[in-house]
Each structure stands twice: as C-alpha cells, then as structure tokens.
Structure 1
C-alpha cells in the first residue's frame, strides 16, 4: 500500500493529550514485551517437549531392542538347561558299568568273549 496519508487536522498539544499519548505508548510497549515473552516461553516449551519426545522415542527403541535380546537369551538359557539335563543323565549312565560296556560295543565294535559282530548296511 502507499505511504500513510497525513491528516490535515492538527492535534491539540495539551498536557492531557500528551499524558494520554504516553500511556498509549507505554501500553503498546508492554503489549510488545508480553508478546515477546510469550513467544520466548512458547519456543522454550516447544523445544523442551521436542527434547522430551525424542528422548522417549530413543528410550522406547532401546527398551524394545533389550527385550528382544532378553527373549533370545532366555531361549538360549532354556536350550542350555535342557542340554545340561541330558549331560547330567549321561554322567549318571556313565557311572554304570553295564551302560559303558553296551556303549563300547555299539561305538567301537567291541565284543564279549565268543560273540561275533555282524555289521549290516544302513539304508
């Protein structure tokens, strides 16, 4: 738009008018300061909330990763416990002489006296 048009009417320069103009000027200054303060506060709140949300998302993804790792480790623990049970049973069996003799005959083709071993082909 163009330049502001000047009014041809002159203002009265009395103390009351001057005082009113000063008050309006102070009100405008206060309003400006309030707007600036409000915008600074809003900016700070937005920055803080953004930081909070970012932190929450990062922690959430970290927790999800740790939960997956925990599940994998728990599964591994279960399999290791099963293996431990089997190995303990094997230890108990290995303390039995009859089991050791049977195992030696099967794996190493050892025989008792007078026993003949026949190997059949596996299909």
Structure 2
C-alpha cells in the first residue's frame, strides 16, 4: 500500500475553463510586467545618456567660458599697455614738432653742433 501512494500524484489538476482562463491571465500579466520592465529600463538608459550629455556640454561650456575670461583679462591688460604706449608716442610726436627738441637730440645722439659751437666729449666718471 505504501508503494502505491508514492506513484500517484498527490494533487490532481483541474481542467476547467476557469483554471485555463486564470493561467492565460497570469501569462498575459507576466508578459505585460516584462514589457513594463523593458520600457522602464530603456527610459532609464535614455535619461542617463541625456544626463551625461548635458553634464558633458555644461562642463565644456564652463571651461570655454573660463578660457574666454582669461583671454579677456589678457586683452584688457594689453589694452592698458597699448594706451600707455600711445600716450608716450603722442607726447613724443609733440616733442618732435619742436625744433629746439630736435636740435637737442641731434647734438646729444649724433654729435652735431650749431655753427661756431665746439663739442667736447667727456669721459664718463666711474669710481
């Protein structure tokens, strides 16, 4: 008797319309759940890719802005230097329009003299 009970299944399946419909509903529900998981995974991947793209663009823009600010600072320093040079050159032009200044430069740099004038070059004093 004991051996006879081992071979028989303990639970018999019910083959009713309700049972088949329930199994079909379970399969459909499982298929929908898998589809939902796939859609959510695809959406998450797309959101992650978009976030990475935005972060990359923002960091590159930030570095570009920093570089441009540095270039602007250098250009402003160059502008100040050029304005100082312009002021110096404008003063030099005004001086060169003065005949006395030109005569002084000629005597100093080229050892030229006025008529009747004698130029003496003194040795530089070094101690």
Equivalent pairs counted in the alignment come to 117
- Cross-structure match for 1:93: 95
- Cross-structure match for 1:3: none
**Which of the residues 47, 60, 64 maps onto 1:62?**
64
Displacement after TM superposition at 1:8 (Å): 4.5
Partner-residue secondary structure (3-state), 1:117: coil
- Cross-structure match for 1:4: none
- Cross-structure match for 1:76: 78
Q: Which moved more, 1:95-104 or 1:105-114?
A: 105-114
How far apart, CA to CA, are the structure 2 residues paired with 1:121 and 1:10?
A: 130
Displacement after TM superposition at 1:14 (Å): 0.8
Superposition CA RMSD, Å: 1.7
Partner-residue secondary structure (3-state), 1:40: helix
Structure ID, larger Rg: 2
How far apart, CA to CA, are the structure 1 residues paired with 2:36 and 2:49?
A: 20
Q: 1:20 to 1:82 in 2, by over 3 A?
A: same
- Cross-structure match for 2:120: 118
**Which of the residues 28, 31, 42 maps onto 1:29?**
31
* TM-superposition CA deviations, 1:66-96 (whole Å, max 9, x none): 2222221221121111111100110011111
Q: 1:62 to 1:34 in 2, by over 3 A?
A: same
Structure 1 unaligned regions, length at least 5: 1-6
How far apart, CA to CA, are the structure 1 residues paired with 2:109 and 2:30?
A: 101
TM-score (norm 1): 0.84
Runs of 4+ in 1 over 6 A off after TM superposition: none
How far apart, CA to CA, are the structure 2 residues paired with 1:27 and 1:55?
A: 42
How far apart, CA to CA, are the structure 1 residues paired with 2:123 and 2:37?
A: 95
